[in-house]
Structure 1
Amino acid sequence: MINMINLSFSFPEKELYKDISFTLEEGQHCAFIGTSGSGKSTLTDIIMDPERYMYDGKLEIEPGLRIGYVSQFSQLDKTKEITVFDYVAEEFIRLQREIAQICLEMETSSDIEALLEKYQNTLDALEAIGGDDFENEIKKKLNLADLSRYETSLVSELSGGEYKLIQVIKEMLTNPHLMIMDEPDVFLDFENLNSLKELINAHKGMMLIITHNRYLLDHCFNKIIHLENKELQEFNGRYIEYKLSLLQTKIELQELAVADTLEIERNKVIVNKLRAVATYHTEAARGKSLHAREKILERLEARRIKAPFVEIKQPEIKLPILGEVEASTVLKVNHYSVGFQEVLLEDASFEIGSSDKVALIGPNGTGKTTLLRDIYKNQKDSIVIGDNVSMAFLSQIQGEMLKEESDVQDEFFDIGFQTYDEIRAYVTKYGFSEDVLTQKIDSLSGGEKNLLQLAKISVSKANLLLLDEPTSHLDTYSQIALEQAVKDYKGAVLMVSHDFNTIANCVDYVLMIENKTIRKMSVRKFRKMIYANHFSKDYLELEDKKKTIETRIESALKNEDFELAKKLSEELEELIKQL
């Protein structure tokens, strides 16, 4: 239904794609992945409105293809006085009213033929989006997403995560041939994320979903499109199988690369010896031997393996480097309460040690971000910050901590960098190319803006980091780099997150909001709770085995023990079949 052939596209300051091709067909649920800023959102924009873009190559879209779209930046309109049911049913109700109006006009009009044509067209439009039984379908979808209780509630009363799910349902119900969603998972709590998974898996139509969420990637999708380094790769199968395929390719390529390196080094020695001999002897034969060997060396170096989907550069996130913090406790929260129209948190108390890594978790709309902001502002008696504690804050509202109208380089001149070269060398470690420095911040992707916030925090002297959804919009490579940076950091971290993997991989314990208060829970208990609620009994054990094998493969590759790595990859392949 969609066929892209050798498409190339550039902005004036950046080339995004070169000769990329892929197809999307009926029944495919496709995950669209790739590093932040690689052009995924732009490519979906081209598919939705190709006339707006000047590109090379071909884009074949089946005539009459209807596309549904959910943006990553949709905002809840708090003034919208409409029930959830009526909001989801808007298009159906509009067409029904139009049909009723046409019928009314037929009673008095002499131009019946034109009205009959209009009536048939409108009826066809209603039928095309499944209008025959839309009330029942809305109820089914709300039930599937565990949102039935909100059917008669006002849209303005929903949390951000609930509203995002309602938008997904609204688009799905119009029966588009292709459903495009751009990071629909961002800021969803785990319950809402699980509802999104159910909606995706139950949808019968074709889907193209930009996501970095490892939970969705592991449990949805039967096709992967991977955009990396201006190139595109498509894989028919599950994400977990795609990762295995990349790992097996990596083992094979690294083994070949080691052999190539040895051969290149051997030939360099021969060339150097021939050059030394040719310096003292002028015979033509010796010169020919040197020239021939130099050509061999050139060919060996030219064929060095290029693997844009395997050797992906992970950003080097390094949080502030600190000495030992004197105080044993950096933060105390005593009997904290907050509320707006209703109480969100009441009489909550906890404290955080100088090196604790803590995740603050709970459903959307329970006061997590408000608490984090109150700690950062430090203006409430119920919040006590330790002596000599310096805080840094990462906001999920990115324009709050970044001047979006400024160039990227201005952010670093403002915090003390002296030269352009100093800034370039620093931001390169975070995965930014030099041409990004002169770009306006508001032109960056959401993931790039979060990386920029982290890069700024990393040159601060903060020993308490307050991170509000730090993995939102980050690609999976940056998420993993951030997890490692949090583990290595010597200070304290309080992180609001809905990302199960990040919580499980880098924090010491969680603070869970339940019944308007906060209780402490170990990571192990948290993992067990999530798996017990959403997976079969043996899934946790299989996941732990998988992680152990992946760690052993990584170690084998570091030691260049390729036979062991291959053997372990076979074990991993068998295990994946059980997942």
Structure 2
Amino acid sequence: MLAGLTNVTFEFGARAIVEDATWHIQPNERIGLIGYNGTGKSTLLKLLVGQYQPSAGTVERSRGTSIGYLHQDLLSFDTHDSILQVALGAFERVLQLEKEIEELGKELENSHNSGMSDAEQEVLLHKYSDKLHELETLGGYNIHHKTEEVLQGLGFSNADLQRPYREFSGGWRMRVLLAKMILQAPDLLLLDEPTNHLDLPSIEWLEKYLIHYQGSVVIVSHDKYFLDRMVTKIVEVYQRQLHVYSGNYSYYEVEKVQRVELQQRAFENQQDYIRQQERFIERFKAKASKAAAAQSAMKRLERLDRIEDVAIERPNIRINFQVDKTPGKVLCELKHITKKFGDNTIVEDTGAEINRGDKIALIGANGKGKSTLLRIIAGAESYTGDRKWGHNVEESFYAQHQLEALDVNNTLLDEMKSAGSQKTEQELRTLLGCFLFGGDDIDKKIKVLSGGEKARVALAKTIISKANFLMLDEPTNHLDIHSVELLIEALNKYEGSLILVSHDRYFVSKVANTIWEIDNHKIKTFDGGYEEWGEWKERQKARTDGEKAENGSRKAEAKNQKPEEEVKKAEVVKKPEPVVESKPPVPEFKPQGPINKELKKELQKQQRLFQQLEENIAKLNQQKTTLEAQLTAPDTYADRNKFVQTETDYKKVSDELLRLNKQYEEVFEKIMELESKS
């Protein structure tokens, strides 16, 4: 065990965050720590590193275990050093050795002139040799290359590496600190919302890096795709307890529903038992012959370990948009748009069209100009070219840097009322609940809110604006997974059009029906969702790689043939015998037909398997629905044997569905791969 909690209780004042919680982190684990906002995820990380002390129980850390903790508070760090120097700080011992070796080298150079004896020189030489050996053992000769590689993976260019750390914004500073932490390679890496500061290419790079990371990793994140690809275990903070699920986030979602259903049934059964006992006590407590039995029943109830009603913890509040006017077919037309910041060209002579019903996601790496383009469309950024609004367009723009539009002297409720939505106070309270404001929070003044809380208020105001065209810049930042799901549901029902920038791939995949990518300073439009776009990009990459490989092969063949011709010429010069003219060598021909036939045969096989899996999954889903109905039927509960058998059948069907769905995905990927080759 690297670290963990044993029977830990932690309280903020009268409020308990966890009670009697136990969690042990083993070597080489990748764990997702999840829970609704405010349940104490970050608090648990602070307990693990010793920033907080538990009210009861023990926090354990194995002797010699190194822990790295990435969190928002690190942004208070500042320095004039370059980002390369900051990241190289991970190799403290190596940097110290480099200095010591340099000093020893100077001493050895001057040893003859300083009158040092041979014995002293020998000692100095041994010392120098030992330091060099230690440097080599620690991989000291590769630290610059390794550091540059990690920084570039997280989105920094070569030109950035020598720039001072303090020149960068908060999100880019956090990347530098993440790079330093990764390079330190602690035994246990604790990451609190690491993807909030990363663009899509950097998130993908981080995934690949952490999957092969030698230590253990605990991640707090609202990015479901990231959790699905990264973690092999989920720990959920739920009802002041820690619940462990062995699997990724998708497995957790399925298993959680089953656990909640079982707990709900257990709760209902216990409530029936309690009511039965209470009726018995009420009826017989006054009768002398039954008083002892009634007293025993009362003691049993007092000792009873009460099961909580899980269904009431987070109600499924609905976020609803209202649209007053229907716009024309074209909402916004961009023509010959150019935007530059000095020598840095964002877009040049490009155009695009936003039509009614479009739900567009702007995709790409940071620095490509996604947010700048969004501001151009919103009219909040200067440009050259033509931007033309369509008929009846009522737009609303959400961006975190525009939070100054909030009236800091208003309460949350007053600020929502000022949006002019004509919603009732109760409806506004309900909506604020979706954005993680509950109870007395809505009476707080805007000026006392954190940056993240202000962002959530601004997003809530955008939602009730009755606009028929939304422009959203990173709307899921500062929301928990449940709130992201509610926002997805609302945007899917939204009758208007929208364009958004987001690094949350799950969110984009569920909302967008069109992808815009800024490539080579032009807007490239893809008509389809994020996953279709990703598959198309993979096919394009495979095709490009194949063409490069083919061209490389041709060049290599030409290069290899040239020396042979030269050798033949040399042989002719050396040997004066008559030269017999020979026919040029016939190139070896490898027929492509059989290979294509094999591919076609395999493709047909996989397609048949795919169809069969679809049919089997449909049948199993039908069986599962039937079994669920049986589990809720009163006659099933009445017969214990029937209930146990039905529950066993339900578990078997659920497990088989999980297995077949996984196989279904694998076969689908295989078909896509074969189609790209054929």
TM, length-normalised to structure 2: 0.65
What is the match of residue 26 of structure 1? 27
What is the match of residue 659 of structure 2? 574
What is the match of residue 281 of structure 1? none
Decide whether the 8 Å contact of 2:628 with 2:650 is kept in 1: no
Decide whether the 8 Å contact of 1:162 with 1:192 is kept in 2: no
- 2:158 is matched with which residue: 140, 150, 153? 150
Letter in 2 for 1:220: M
- 1:348 is matched with which residue: 334, 347, 350? 350
What is the match of residue 520 of structure 1? 525
Decide whether the 8 Å contact of 2:32 with 2:234 is kept in 1: yes
Cα 1:440–1:87 change in 2 (3 A) is same
Q: Distance in 2 between matches of 1:553 and 1:404?
A: 54
Decide whether the 8 Å contact of 1:89 with 1:170 is kept in 2: yes
Cα 1:177–1:527 change in 2 (3 A) is closer
Indicate yes or no: 2:177 matched with 1:177: no
Q: Distance in 2 between matches of 1:554 and 1:441?
A: 52
- 1:489 is matched with which residue: 489, 494, 503? 494
Alpha-carbon shift at residue 521 of structure 1 (Å): 0.8
Indicate yes or no: 2:427 matched with 1:427: no
What is the match of residue 200 of structure 1? 210
SS in 2 for 1:513: strand
The residue correspondences of 1:405-444 to structure 2 (distance < 5 A) are: 408-409=412-413, 411-412=415-416, 414-415=418-419, 424-438=429-443
What is the match of residue 223 of structure 1? 233
Cα 1:48–1:188 change in 2 (3 A) is same
SS in 2 for 1:480: helix
Q: Which has the higher contact order (CA 8 A, sep 6+)?
A: 1
- Once superposed, what is the RMSD of the aligned Cα atoms? 5.3
Decide whether the 8 Å contact of 1:248 with 1:566 is kept in 2: no
Decide whether the 8 Å contact of 2:29 with 2:217 is kept in 1: yes
What is the match of residue 60 of structure 1? 60
Q: Distance in 1 between matches of 2:423 and 2:322?
A: 20
What is the match of residue 88 of structure 2? 89
- 2:178 is matched with which residue: 155, 168, 191? 168
String of CA shifts for 1:43-66, please: whole Å, max 9, x gaps.
Answer: 22333343x557443212234432
Q: Distance in 1 between matches of 2:623 and 2:23?
A: 31
Letter in 1 for 2:528: V
Cα 1:405–1:449 change in 2 (3 A) is same
SS in 2 for 1:523: coil
String of CA shifts for 1:255-291, please: whole Å, max 9, x gaps.
Answer: 6678789x69x98xxx8xxx9xx9xxxxx99xx9xx9
List runs of 5+ in structure 2 lacking aligned partners: 115-119, 543-602, 632-645, 667-678
Alpha-carbon shift at residue 35 of structure 1 (Å): 1.7
SS in 1 for 2:189: strand
Cα 1:428–1:239 change in 2 (3 A) is closer
Cα 1:252–1:94 change in 2 (3 A) is same
Cα 1:402–1:45 change in 2 (3 A) is farther
Decide whether the 8 Å contact of 1:6 with 1:20 is kept in 2: yes
Alpha-carbon shift at residue 201 of structure 1 (Å): 0.8
SS in 2 for 1:382: strand
Decide whether the 8 Å contact of 2:334 with 2:351 is kept in 1: yes
Q: Distance in 2 between matches of 1:463 and 1:555?
A: 40
String of CA shifts for 1:379-437, please: whole Å, max 9, x gaps.
Answer: 75622233443322222448556578976445436546999877545423544320433
What is the match of residue 568 of structure 2? none
Alpha-carbon shift at residue 325 of structure 1 (Å): 0.9
Cα 1:14–1:303 change in 2 (3 A) is closer
Q: Distance in 2 between matches of 1:247 and 1:408?
A: 34
What is the match of residue 198 of structure 2? 188
Q: Distance in 2 between matches of 1:553 and 1:445?
A: 48
Letter in 2 for 1:89: L
SS in 2 for 1:20: strand
Letter in 2 for 1:494: I
String of CA shifts for 1:355-390, please: whole Å, max 9, x gaps.
Answer: 322111122211111121232235756222334433
What is the match of residue 359 of structure 1? 361
Greater CA drift, 191-200 or 552-561? 552-561
Decide whether the 8 Å contact of 1:141 with 1:199 is kept in 2: no
Alpha-carbon shift at residue 155 of structure 1 (Å): 5.0
Letter in 1 for 2:41: K
Q: Distance in 2 between matches of 1:197 and 1:475?
A: 20
SS in 2 for 1:196: helix
Q: Distance in 1 between matches of 2:447 and 2:626?
A: 40
Indicate yes or no: 2:398 matched with 1:394: yes
Decide whether the 8 Å contact of 2:627 with 2:650 is kept in 1: no
What is the match of residue 368 of structure 1? 370
SS in 2 for 1:322: coil
The count of aligned residue pairs is 551
Cα 1:325–1:553 change in 2 (3 A) is farther
Q: Distance in 2 between matches of 1:243 and 1:418?
A: 33
SS in 2 for 1:348: strand
What is the match of residue 71 of structure 1? 71
The residue correspondences of 1:79-118 to structure 2 (distance < 5 A) are: 82=82, 84=84, 86-92=85-91, 94-96=95-97, 99=100
Letter in 2 for 1:58: T
